[in-house]
């Protein structure tokens, strides 16, 4: 593979698909800025003091318009703008999904870590944990190499993606056998925003393998509730309407799972005039569903009467072939939970004689040969709000990304203080509250101020945090 780094006229390195799109991108960025008040308020509040003065930030994030606003916020706060270039380069990941995907993706991830002789990065902003993974695997390989002279062997794994990671590290060893080791010494910390990435960090912590402090922003209230509940309440109907134009009112909708995502989906369909039935394994969530007027039944009991099925569980094997075989003609089946294995796509694809008709991209009708009835599957079973709509709206991403900014500021501010050890921390409550506060002005909301007297009465600091860690909101 020979991917060449390009340079802007000012000498900044990058690799994107088509630089001629930059003007249109700028237009979209300007629109997004208005909808991302948390980031813009951060610029206004923290910009003057330049908290990232001297900091080199990198990371591996899905490159979207909203991500661009995040990057420009970090640079506005003083971060070395190589950071921006680094992530801009990562936009290669976008087109990488078509074609040499994984190769290109990891090439970008690795390039983003290369700060040349000045050394870097200092901080990592992660979304999925791949940059962190690469460094940890790199350090492991370098230690092994130092001890035994052994280099990583891509053939040692069946996992196609991990083969690429090992190849990158192996090739790096030849150039500099201490590259990742030096890097981890320098890194102040990482902030990570996905469930998957956070899970990996906790495993590293449990194994004593974590090389630098990590802040889990995925479990901030302003991330988890907003992303899952409000985000999906918005984007489920968006995806349904764009993909199928089906009227939601009058339909029977089944929402599999009543966690935050399921709560958002059930609310959205109820508000659209559908009758909603919930499936749940957890009695507490089931009881919550009942208290909101939703019927709670197993999928088996309702599979032949419903019109729209949505999986939100984060688990696998939720809607199986035998369910789909019993559905009404043109029932809509989609997933807004996690991977495409919430729906038995394999069973569907391999059913003898099944006929797939693509109505439009991301909207397929699968017809069974015996019954001649079909079902409509969105986004090939993958996340329908990403596949059929445009994912979460900017405002939701503003909540998530402001968590990243605040976490990065915290890590950098405390870099020498010893406050953060090589462990995983949730964002401190007062910073979670700060993220919310940064969004209120744009929405016209004004807070009430706690008086000293009141604060004493309830044993709280005047400036917060106002709730105990276990508070459920």
Is 469 a binder of a second copy (CB under 8 A)?
A: yes
CB of residue 42 vs a second copy: minimum separation in angstroms?
Answer: 14
Report which DSSP code applies to 277.
E
Residue 223, annotated as binding a ligand? yes
Task: Determine the Cα–Cα distance for residues 107 and 91; give it in Å rounded to an integer.
Answer: 12
* Closer by beta carbon to a second copy, 83 or else 396: 396
Task: Give me the half-sphere count of Cα atoms (radius 13 Å) on the Cβ side of residue 439.
Answer: 21
Residue 262, annotated as binding a ligand? yes
Segment 330 to 349, residues that bind a second copy, using CB under 8 A: 330
* Closer by beta carbon to a second copy, 151 or else 436: 436
Is 458 a binder of a second copy (CB under 8 A)?
A: yes
Gyration radius of the chain over CA positions:
24
Residue 391 near residue 351 (C-beta atoms within 8 A): no
CB of residue 286 vs a second copy: minimum separation in angstroms?
Answer: 6
Q: How many residues bind a second copy (CB under 8 A)?
A: 100
Segment 232 to 251, residues that bind a second copy, using CB under 8 A: 233-234, 237-238, 241-242, 245-251
* Closer by beta carbon to a second copy, 395 or else 401: 395
CA-nearest of 395, 385, 469 to 433 is 469
CB of residue 341 vs a second copy: minimum separation in angstroms?
Answer: 9
Whether cis (ω within 30° of 0) applies to the bond prior to 156 is no
Neighbours of 176 (CB within 10 A): 11
Task: Determine the Cα–Cα distance for residues 379 and 387; give it in Å rounded to an integer.
Answer: 5
Part of the chain binding a second copy (CB under 8 A), chosen from 71-79, 172-180, 417-425, 463-471? 463-471
CB of residue 156 vs a second copy: minimum separation in angstroms?
Answer: 25
Residue 193, annotated as binding a ligand? yes
Q: Which residue has the tokens 């860690």?
A: 469
* Closer by beta carbon to a second copy, 167 or else 290: 290
Neighbours of 199 (CB within 10 A): 14
Indicate which single residue of 171, 322, 454, 461 sits in contact with a second copy (rule: CB under 8 A). Answer: 454
Indicate which single residue of 41, 224, 311, 400 sits in contact with a second copy (rule: CB under 8 A). Answer: 224
Is 140 a binder of a second copy (CB under 8 A)?
A: no
Whether cis (ω within 30° of 0) applies to the bond prior to 465 is yes
**DSSP H/E element including 110:** helix 101-111
Residue 385, annotated as binding a ligand? yes
Report which DSSP code applies to 230.
I
List helix spans (H) across 158-312.
Answer: 160-175, 179-186, 195-206, 221-224, 231-244, 260-271, 283-291, 299-302
Residue 115 near residue 55 (C-beta atoms within 8 A): no
**Structure tokens belonging to residue 347:** 């069973």
Segment 31 to 60, residues that bind a second copy, using CB under 8 A: 31, 34-35
Can you say how many angstroms the Cα of residue 283 is from the centroid of all Cα atoms in its chain?
28
Indicate which single residue of 1, 2, 175, 443 sits in contact with a second copy (rule: CB under 8 A). Answer: 443
Neighbours of 326 (CB within 10 A): 14
Is 226 a binder of a second copy (CB under 8 A)?
A: yes
Part of the chain binding a second copy (CB under 8 A), chosen from 127-135, 182-190, 343-351, 454-462? 454-462
Residue 150, annotated as binding a ligand? no
Is 175 a binder of a second copy (CB under 8 A)?
A: no
**DSSP H/E element including 408:** helix 394-413
What CA–CA distances, in Å, run from 261 to 213, 245, 332, 388, 436?
29, 22, 18, 17, 20
Residue 260, annotated as binding a ligand? yes
Residue 259, annotated as binding a ligand? yes
Part of the chain binding a second copy (CB under 8 A), chosen from 44-52, 81-89, 266-274, 412-420? 266-274
* Closer by beta carbon to a second copy, 6 or else 292: 292
Residue 336, annotated as binding a ligand? yes
Residue 127, annotated as binding a ligand? yes
- Beta strands of 19-72 (E only): which ranges? 57-60
String of contacts with a second copy for each residue 274-313, x by CB under 8 A: xxx--xxxxxxxxxxxxxxxxxxxxx-x---x--------
Residue 227, annotated as binding a ligand? yes
Residue 341 near residue 316 (C-beta atoms within 8 A): yes
* Closer by beta carbon to a second copy, 222 or else 362: 222
What CA–CA distances, in Å, run from 269 to 237, 257, 264, 319, 392?
7, 14, 9, 19, 17
Segment 15 to 34, residues that bind a second copy, using CB under 8 A: 27-28, 31, 34
Residue 328, annotated as binding a ligand? no
Segment 360 to 389, residues that bind a second copy, using CB under 8 A: 365, 376, 389
- The SS3 of residue 354 is coil
CB of residue 13 vs a second copy: minimum separation in angstroms?
Answer: 30
CB of residue 127 vs a second copy: minimum separation in angstroms?
Answer: 19
Segment 413 to 432, residues that bind a second copy, using CB under 8 A: 432
Q: Which residues participate in the annotated binding site? A: 64, 127, 193-196, 223, 227, 259-264, 280, 336-338, 385, 392
Q: Which residues participate in the annotated binding site for substrate? A: 64, 127, 193, 223, 227
């Amino acid at each position: 593979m020979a991917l060449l780094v390009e340079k802007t006229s000012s000498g900044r390195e990058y690799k994107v698909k088509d630089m001629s799109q930059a003007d249109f991108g700028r237009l979209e960025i300007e629109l997004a800025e208005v909808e991302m008040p948390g980031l813009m308020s951060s610029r206004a509040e923290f910009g003057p003091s330049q908290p990232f003065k001297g900091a080199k930030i990198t990371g591996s994030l899905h490159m979207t318009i909203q991500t661009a606003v995040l990057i420009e916020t970090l640079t506005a706060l003083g971060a070395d703008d190589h950071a921006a270039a680094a992530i801009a380069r990562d936009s290669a990941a976008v087109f990488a999904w078509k074609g040499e995907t994984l190769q290109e993706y990891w090439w970008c991830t690795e390039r983003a870590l290369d700060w040349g002789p000045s050394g870097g990065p200092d901080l990592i902003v992660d979304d999925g944990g791949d940059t962190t993974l690469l460094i940890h695997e790199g350090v492991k390989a370098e230690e092994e190499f130092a001890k035994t002279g052994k280099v990583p062997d891509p053939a040692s794994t069946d996992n196609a993606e991990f083969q690429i990671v090992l190849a990158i590290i192996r090739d790096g060893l030849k150039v500099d056998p201490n590259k990742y080791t030096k890097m981890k010494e320098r890194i102040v910390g990482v902030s990570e925003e996905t469930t998957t990435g956070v899970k990996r960090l906790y495993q590293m912590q449990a194994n004593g393998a974590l090389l630098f402090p990590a802040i889990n922003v995925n479990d901030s209230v302003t991330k988890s509730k907003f992303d899952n509940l409000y985000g999906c309440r918005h984007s489920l109907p968006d995806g349904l309407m764009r993909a199928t134009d089906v009227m939601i009112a009058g339909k029977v909708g089944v929402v599999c799972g009543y966690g935050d995502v399921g709560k958002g989906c059930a609310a959205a369909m109820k508000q659209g005039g559908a009758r909603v039935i919930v499936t749940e394994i957890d009695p507490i969530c089931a009881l919550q569903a009942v208290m909101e007027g939703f019927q709670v039944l197993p999928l088996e009991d309702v599979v032949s009467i419903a019109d729209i099925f949505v999986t939100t569980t984060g688990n696998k094997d939720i809607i199986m072939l035998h369910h789909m075989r019993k559905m009404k003609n043109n029932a809509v089946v989609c997933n807004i939970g996690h991977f495409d294995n919430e729906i038995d796509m394999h069973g569907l694809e391999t059913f003898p004689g099944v006929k797939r008709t693509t109505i439009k991209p991301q909207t397929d009708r699968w017809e069974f040969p015996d019954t001649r009835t079909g079902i409509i599957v969105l986004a090939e079973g993958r996340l329908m709000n990403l596949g059929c709509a445009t994912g979460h709206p900017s405002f939701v991403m503003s909540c998530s990304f402001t968590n990243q900014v605040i976490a990065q500021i915290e890590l950098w501010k405390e870099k020498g203080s010893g406050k953060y050890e090589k462990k995983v921390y949730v964002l401190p409550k007062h910073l979670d509250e700060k993220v919310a506060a940064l969004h209120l002005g744009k929405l016209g909301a004004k807070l009430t101020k706690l008086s000293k007297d009141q604060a004493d009465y309830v044993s709280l600091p005047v400036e917060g945090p106002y709730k105990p860690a276990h508070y459920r909101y």
